[in-house]
Amino acid sequence: MEVKKKTIYYWSPALSKVATCKAVINSVYSFKKYSRDFNSYLISACGEWNYYKKEIEEKKINLIKLNINYFRFLLKEGYIFSRISYLLVFLISFFSLFKLIRQNRPEYLIAHLITSLPIVLFICFRFETKLILRISGLPKLNFFRKFLWKISNKFLYAVTCPTEETKKALVSQGIFSEEKIYLVRDPIIEIASILSKQKEKIDENYKEGFVLAAGRLTKQKNQILLINLIQNIAKENPAIKLLILGDGEKKNFLIKKIKEAKIENNIELLGYKKNIFKYLKKCKCFISTSLWEDPGFVMVEAAASNCFVISSDCRSGPKEFIGKDNGLLFKNNNLDDLINKFNEFNLMSAKDVNKKIINAKKQSKNYTVFSHYKQLLSIF
């Protein structure tokens, strides 16, 4: 007699391409790939997953369309406009999400973004479904969020977070019961996929020896610090080359600063690249200047690709991932220390460089899709 599979729903509406989207897709996929006991489904609140349509189809992920596709009409830029859009998603999805949970009775609902909606539903109504709250990054606790989380504690089955530092912060705040808080690292990499993508040929102009950075061109990623680094290094090493992958609202600002520093020959903004692994394979080192990360997806991908990683010691992922033995950490947003660490890297012996690369690659295995699946499964 065939045993009926249990059901997991994922709720994670996002207005832009953020790392959480990749983590959600990979988490849904992990149960699709490895579990015989669960069926996993991704809920589309407003058509927000259309950008990832090809990947979702390739991974054969089950998609539930909750409402009509109105995503393209939502305002996505700016704090006030984005909050208005989040409110619209909340209001439009309230009854449809309630109906979906009530009728289908999934065993678990994992909520990532706009978590206020499922939390409010579980406070107001009795469901057989178990609610798991996924917190990515150290949360900013305004009055409303703190109040909502506090009263939601008894309605939550579990709270998961991707780093030890975030877990410790949540425990110290005393909002959730400590026994409900779990460390579940993000599903960032698949080794087979990395090896396949590394085979793709890179442009002839970028053969070897360049420094690489990647991420959205935003205040968080702090690429201006990279420009200041290269401006200083180029005085003694005019051949140094930095490639920055990614797009974002700071693009024109960064282009202006590069021109003002007269280092157009040393830095190239290549825009968004779907396959960064062919660049990671060829670069001299990878640098992350983020002001905050949790844990830092590209940093993990770089380590898995045998890259030497130099990162800021920002909260909360890089310190935990790099530590003393897996790369080099510089003081957050400190140019002088970044220059010192970059020079230290250049003076390191090949043996010491390779040792740190190997250590980082071992650490990256904690962030595989399979490792995430096992961690999440242990909570159920």
Mean pLDDT for the chain?
93
Query: Residue 212 pairs with which residues in a beta bridge?
Result: 243, 286
Token pair listed for 134: 């996924």
Residue 380 and residue 81: Cα distance in Å, rounded?
A: 37
Residue 157 and residue 129: Cα distance in Å, rounded?
A: 9
Q: Residues 148, 149, 151, CA angle at the centre, nearest 5°? A: 70
Is the per-residue pLDDT at 16 higher than 80?
Answer: yes
Which of 106-110, 138-142, 149-153, 278-282 has the largest mean confidence? Answer: 106-110
pLDDT at position 143 is 82
Q: Provide the terminal-to-terminal Cα distance of the chain, rounded to the nearest Å.
A: 23
Q: What integer is the mean pLDDT of 81-89?
A: 92
Q: What integer is the mean pLDDT of 314-319?
A: 87
Is the per-residue pLDDT at 316 higher than 90?
Answer: no
Check residue 2 and report its DSSP letter. Answer: P
> Do 356 and 325 touch, CB atoms closer than 8 A?
yes
Residue 321 and residue 313: Cα distance in Å, rounded?
A: 10
Domains detected in the chain: 6-188+368-377 (3.40.50.2000), 191-366 (3.40.50.2000)
Token pair listed for 130: 């178990």
Higher pLDDT, 266 or 316: 266
Q: What values do phi and psi take at 274, rounded to 5?
A: -65, -35
pLDDT at position 1 is 47
Using a pLDDT cut of 70, give the percent of the chain over it. Answer: 99
Nearest to 250 by CA among 231, 269, 237, 236: 269
Query: Residue 214 CB: number of other CB atoms within 10 A?
Result: 24
Q: What integer is the mean pLDDT of 53-79?
A: 92
Token pair listed for 22: 């990749």
The residue type found at 238 is P
Token pair listed for 153: 């504690």
Maximum Cα–Cα distance across the chain: 74
Q: What is the pLDDT of residues 329-349, one digit of tens each?
A: 999 999 999 999 999 999 999
Is the per-residue pLDDT at 315 higher than 60?
Answer: yes
pLDDT at position 378 is 95
Higher pLDDT, 64 or 16: 64
